[in-house]
Structure 1
Amino acid sequence: MTLQQSLLLSRRGFLAGACCAAAAPILTPVTLAAAPGDNRFVTIVLRGAMDGLDLVQPYGDPAFAALRPKLGLTPQTGLLDLDGFFGLNPAASALMPLWQAGELSFIHAVSTPYRDQRSHFDGQDMLETGGGDKAERTGWLNRALAAIPRSDARKAIDINAARELILSGPNDVDSWSTQSNFTLAEDEIAFLDRLYAGDEAFARAMEEAKKTDMSADALYGDAKRGAGIAEMAGLAGGMLREEYRIASFSINGWDTHVGQKAQFRKAVGDLSTAIVTLKASLGDEAWGKTVVLAITEFGRTARENGTGGTDHGTGGLAVLAGGAIPGGKVLGQWPGLGDDQLLDRRDLMPTGDVREIAAAMLYRQFGIDPDNLTGKVFPGLSFDKSSAYLKG
């Protein structure tokens, strides 16, 4: 049997194997952990480098319009004004009631310490391990379990066959595989196209795979993808309403090099669905004791590129939601978008550490001692109880 025949006989296997090789998960695992008390904490990893300048647009910055002539909006062209300087992308309109209720905030110009090659793989590893040691293979959220005061029940359950790095580590984890199928996002499909472009047999098999029935219901099925995200978030919320107190899952689709408007709208819809569904499934009482933190491996270039997208950058955006946060604010120190204010004259300059946000929320929700936060959970991080992210 030739390589070409073998590939064509198993198109679904080909796609699954290719995605595994690319470290871009198709299925989104939900990981949950038990902890004492009634406070809840949810992390959402936005894989692919979410463009924070598109989600929360600094339309009041005089340099923004020139950097984003096609992607940039104003309140006159559909942007949802937040505070007279920043506005929310209309694709996230489902989140506006949370903003108005003081249950949603955004933190601009934040990043991990990662500054090397803007690699998704390395960037996500640092985001999930919470440190600068590339050899570290435990996640900061797993380490946090051991630092929670009175944390007798450190059991976690992973609602998938594979565990994400953020909650990997020595603390016990139970796994349970969901039957839900999540579709490939457009950035994942584009990655596979690029990955196999130089190999005629693999490229041909990829094109054949996209022409099968899988194209309609799994590769490009937006309705099915949306339903899967809602089911995943609903499951997490339901279990957090019971004995679990910590959850983590990912949303893919943020690598918007080409045709960003359409692709970003879908990804933002997924994020909005996840947060709104979490609130609904938790109920008012539990939601009032919940913090949701959505983070990404790095931001994107300040300038849009020639193909209607943006490339890998540095400074990004974190999203905070929940009834337990100081909401209705755009936080962080805004660096500006002038040429001399950009990092390497191309990226939003980071002025905050995304790990400090996570540390502040762990302190707020579970009272983890600051010495443990800086010594065990996020080694080397500077954090104290006066963090701006705790004020409100």
Structure 2
Amino acid sequence: MLSRRLFLKSSALIGCSAAAHPLLSPMAFAALPGENRLVVIILRGAMDGLDVFQPYGDSNLRGLRRTLSLGPDGGAADLDGFFALHPALAPLMPLWRSGELAFAPAVSTPYRDQRSHFDGQDLLEAGTGTDVEAMRLRDGWLNRLLQAMPGVQSETAYSVGLDDMRILDGAAPAKSWAPQTRFRLSAQGQRLLADVWHDDPLFRPAGDQAIDIINGNLARIETEAGPTRDAEALARFTADRLNAETRIASFSISGWDSHARQGPVIERALQRLGAAILTLRADLGTNWRRTTVLAMTEFGRTARENGTGGTDHGTGGAMLVAGGNIRGGRAIGGWPGLAEGDLYAGRDLMPLRDIRAHAAWVMRDLFDIPRDVLERSVFPGLDMGDSPRILG
């Protein structure tokens, strides 16, 4: 059976062309009642939270990292006298000072020890405690959130990318699309195709969606050339939908796997993340005041810098939080320390809290979802613990 995704890709044969990009990211959207908005950014490749939010106040850091995470001495911006922000995110410092940026150090999913990107990302997007649960459910935690909310509608967007966003896969209505897609089809061609697929239950819905792209403004979201153009396009498209009926959006930014020469690798990735957040803030306008952004990665990286100037797959990482409705300008949660006896398995930052708990409390406060639903259905087996008071 031909899928809608394959239909849209195959539409190139009738005048549809997608701008190819190796890092093209699918996006997913859903509409629901209310004015609060949630954006989840998946950082694929395991972001090094110790380098993004550098704990230079921990005296053990210098012994673990010779060239990375050197704090203000290395050009990072001091945040609170203990943590410093990587220089590549310096454009976000005004958000920190205005209380629109925060982070949670030492967090992780329940995934441990195997350190596979694919498995880690699956568990992050599935929102389950184990890979067995993830395989059983086969859907994502944002979709399970939608299933728990009355009045949810499918605010249409589309996916034309390399991967699906599992985080929104499931029974609740949600679609996806990636920007920088162009469709060229005359009015006569549209009428001809509509006649062809009119009585076809498979092609008619997908075809109608394609025509919506052609005639709507979704395909006209453009961005200037540059190293952050893809991230800006993702954010611009997201803001466009959030300013309309969409209330939940998710997209991914890749390029965080930094086994060697971490400096330039993470700099490029952070520039893209920073550009995405600033584009969201600018394009959302007054709706930024009702928006929460969670940037999450599958796991952290080793506490020790390796011999090639990089870091390897680890455990504890960090979550970035932004938005006009958060209690920012702070680190959310405690700090486990970097002494030898404090490390997980003698090599990784020890996670102090399940990253799912932070996401659950955000959804509790944004959308008034009952705690038992979050712990039982959205994130099976989760103990949310005490509220981290992420929202203002």
- Per the TM superposition, whether the score is higher than 0.5 is yes
Match of 1:77 among 71, 74, 77: 74
Aligned length: 326
Alignment gaps of 5+ in structure 2: 1-20, 183-223
Report if aligned partners of 1:158, 1:173 keep a CA contact under 8 Å in 2. no
- Equivalence map 1:1-392=2 (5 Å): 26-131=23-128, 132=130, 133-135=133-135, 136-148=137-149, 150-155=150-155, 157-160=157-160, 163-176=164-177, 178-179=179-180, 224-283=226-285, 285-383=286-384, 386-390=386-390
| TM-superposed deviation, 1:179 | 3.1
Give, in whole Å, the separation in 2 of the partners of 1:153 and 1:180.
Answer: 24
SS of 1:41's equivalent in the other structure is: strand
| TM-superposed deviation, 1:268 | 0.3
TM-score (norm 2): 0.80
| TM-superposed deviation, 1:276 | 0.4
Which amino acid letter does the alignment assign opposite residue 151 of structure 1? G
| TM-superposed deviation, 1:178 | 3.4
Report if aligned partners of 1:154, 1:172 keep a CA contact under 8 Å in 2. yes
Q: What do the CA deviations read for 1:79-115 (whole angstroms, capped 9, x no partner)?
A: 2000000000111001101101100001000000000
| TM-superposed deviation, 1:238 | 1.2
SS of 2:125's equivalent in the other structure is: helix
Report if aligned partners of 2:65, 2:304 keep a CA contact under 8 Å in 1. yes
| TM-superposed deviation, 1:76 | 3.2
SS of 2:34's equivalent in the other structure is: coil
Which amino acid letter does the alignment assign opposite residue 158 of structure 1? Y
Which amino acid letter does the alignment assign opposite residue 297 of structure 2? T
Give, in whole Å, the separation in 2 of the partners of 1:364 and 1:76.
Answer: 38
| TM-superposed deviation, 1:175 | 4.2
Report if aligned partners of 1:145, 1:154 keep a CA contact under 8 Å in 2. no
| TM-superposed deviation, 1:159 | 4.2
| TM-superposed deviation, 1:279 | 0.5
What is the identity percentage for the equivalent residue pairs of Structure 1 and Structure 2? Answer: 51
SS of 1:45's equivalent in the other structure is: strand
Give, in whole Å, the separation in 2 of the partners of 1:156 and 1:99.
Answer: 33
SS of 1:331's equivalent in the other structure is: coil
| TM-superposed deviation, 1:231 | 1.3
Report if aligned partners of 2:40, 2:293 keep a CA contact under 8 Å in 1. yes
| TM-superposed deviation, 1:180 | 5.1
Which amino acid letter does the alignment assign opposite residue 126 of structure 1? L
Give, in whole Å, the separation in 1 of the partners of 2:179 and 2:335.
Answer: 41
Q: What's the C-alpha RMSD, in Å, of the aligned pairs?
A: 1.9
TM-score (norm 1): 0.80
Report if aligned partners of 1:156, 1:172 keep a CA contact under 8 Å in 2. no
TM-aligned CA distance change 1:154 to 1:387, over 3 Å: farther
